[in-house]
């Protein structure tokens, strides 16, 4: 255990650091930026949260005695009723959800085509560029549909882009310097989206609760068995959230 008491760590950078069960007392975190951080089980008391922005997966988040997650979900669903479709309960629901994903991504891609091509490789506030976002969604489909669900041990394309915090894994590409054209990455993306459509079209309600066979070869996700429903929900979540992020960044690029 390392103890810091009275030390000035202003501007420090912590990356791939294990800080489980650490304790912060009378610590100044103003202006801190946390990205890809696991905050499961964190307890905060006597804190000041002013002008704070949180984007992420929230579950059982209690603020001053109130679980705020149902309130947040209700407001997000009110703002965008299509969001409700992203938690399907049966095979028909998954088909409807994928209809929504295809329709909304078509509109987002059409919007992106209206920008100068070089802007689609530009990061906004350190986030992925539009092209990198599409590459990451190819990776998500390869991982959770082609590998975990369909059993291909190495479904990767050289343009696949894992999330930044993922440890380097043999055989999984991570070329952050690649600069494919929009049409090139859309061709790859179209192939992967067609694979998801084919899987969903062949679903039954019973099949959703069946489990995949573990893929023994190393890769991502780990060599485990997953419910078919779980694999598809991961992909829906990735598609929905990253399109929202892309739209946010297209707003900034257009300005």
d(CA 54, CA 103): 28
CB 131 within 8 A of CB 177: no
Q: CA gyration radius for the chain?
A: 20
- pLDDT tens digits along 80-102: 999 999 999 999 999 999 999 99
* 167 DSSP 8-state letter: P
pLDDT at 16 over 90: no
pLDDT at 56 over 90: no
Q: How confident is the model at residue 1 (pLDDT cuts 50, 70, 90)?
A: confident
Residue-level pLDDT at 245: 96
Two tokens, residue 54: 């949180």
Q: Within 10 A of 46 (CB to CB), how many other CB atoms are there?
A: 6
d(CA 208, CA 94): 10
Name the pTM for this structure.
0.87
pLDDT at 167 over 90: no
The class (CATH top level) of 82-254 is: mainly alpha
Averaged pLDDT, 64-89: 95
Averaged pLDDT, 4-14: 90
CB 137 within 8 A of CB 238: yes
pLDDT at 171 over 90: no
Partners of residue 181 on adjacent β-strands: none
Partners of residue 227 on adjacent β-strands: 211
- pLDDT tens digits along 132-152: 999 999 999 999 999 999 999
Averaged pLDDT, 159-174: 91
d(CA 84, CA 80): 8
d(CA 121, CA 181): 9
Averaged pLDDT, 6-19: 90
d(CA 45, CA 58): 18
């Amino acid at each position: 255990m390392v103890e810091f008491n009275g030390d000035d760590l202003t501007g420090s950078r912590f990356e791939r650091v294990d800080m489980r069960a650490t304790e912060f007392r009378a610590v100044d975190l103003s202006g801190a930026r946390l990205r890809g951080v696991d905050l499961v089980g964190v307890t905060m008391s006597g804190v000041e949260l002013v002008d704070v922005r949180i984007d992420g997966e929230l579950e059982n988040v209690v603020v001053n005695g109130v679980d705020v997650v149902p309130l947040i979900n209700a407001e997000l669903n009110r703002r965008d009723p299509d969001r409700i479709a992203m938690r399907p309960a049966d095979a028909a629901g998954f088909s409807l959800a994928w209809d929504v994903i295809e329709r909304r991504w078509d509109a987002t891609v059409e919007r992106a085509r209206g920008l100068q091509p070089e802007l689609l490789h530009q990061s906004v506030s350190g986030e992925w560029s539009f092209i990198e976002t599409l590459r990451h969604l190819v990776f998500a489909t390869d991982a959770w549909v082609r590998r975990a669900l369909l059993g291909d041990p190495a479904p990767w394309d050289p343009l696949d882009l894992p999330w930044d915090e993922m440890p380097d894994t043999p055989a999984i590409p991570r070329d952050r310097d690649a600069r494919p054209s929009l049409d090139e990455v859309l061709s790859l993306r179209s192939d992967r989206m067609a694979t998801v459509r084919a899987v969903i079209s062949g679903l039954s309600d019973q099949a959703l609760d069946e489990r995949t066979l573990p893929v023994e070869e190393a890769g991502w996700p780990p060599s485990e068995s997953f419910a078919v429903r779980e694999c598809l929900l991961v992909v829906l979540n990735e598609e929905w959230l990253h399109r929202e992020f892309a739209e946010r960044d297209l707003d900034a690029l257009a300005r």
